[in-house]
Amino acid sequence: MLFAFVDESCRVRADDDCVYVLAAVLLHSEGLDHVRSLMDTLRYGKTPTVHWRTERVPRRSLIAQAVASIDFASVVAVSLHASAGRPERARRHCLLRLLPELSARGVETVVFESRREQDAADRAILTVLRRRGQVAAEMSVSWARASSDAALWTADVVAGVVTGWLGGELRWWPLLEERVTFLEAGEM
């Protein structure tokens, strides 16, 4: 069974544009226990999760290397927009590209990191895509808190590395670049 764990990242670049990404990490069910265990060992102290933005540089190197050691593929939808633009619109564009791609790849279960009350907007987009026949009815899609599944942290890492790379931070990109497929979600 093929799973996709999805998280977002947004960054203002030096040119004052924003880059918004939705990163999906594709993992086979046979490897999930290993991934969850590995990611759990990367937590710092009593922190409940691994979160790329809050990690210091030496830990980011350790975390990026650990994620690079996992057997995975990644699909990343990217939207560039003016800094005055709305990230919700960028997310909508990314969802419209990402969900059909995951369905076409035969992903059976998609887990998004929950944004609580904002999850309803994602569900509405999913409903539209299912009605259009762009997302298989059999594909299970759910939203979960980051602390509930360590596999979600892999998507956080990939999203953080990608937005960093698109903003000029090149340090960790070579560890992951061979495994990332980009989907252009358009400029706004």
pLDDT of residue 188: 44
Q: List the end-to-end C-alpha distance of the chain, in Å, as a whole number.
A: 36
pLDDT digits (tens, 9 = 90+) for 78-132: 998 766 567 788 889 999 999 999 999 999 999 999 999 889 999 999 999 999 9
Pairing verdict, β 2-12 and 17-28 = antiparallel
Q: Got the DSSP string for 31-59?
A: GHHHHHHHHHHT--TT-SS--GGGS-HHH
pLDDT of residue 112: 97
pLDDT digits (tens, 9 = 90+) for 62-92: 999 999 999 999 999 999 876 656 778 888 9
141 token code pair: 């899609």
Q: Tell me what percent of the residues of the chain surpass a pLDDT of 90.
A: 80
pLDDT of residue 15: 66
DSSP 114: P
Residues in CB range of 146: below 8 A, 6 or more apart: 7, 48, 49, 51, 113, 114, 152, 153, 156
Within 13 Å and on the Cβ side, how many CA atoms surround 138? Answer: 9
pLDDT of residue 72: 97
For residue 18, is pLDDT > 60? Answer: yes
Average the pLDDT over 22-31 and give the result: 97
Domain ranges of the chain: 2-187
- 2-187 placed in CATH 3.30.420.10: yes
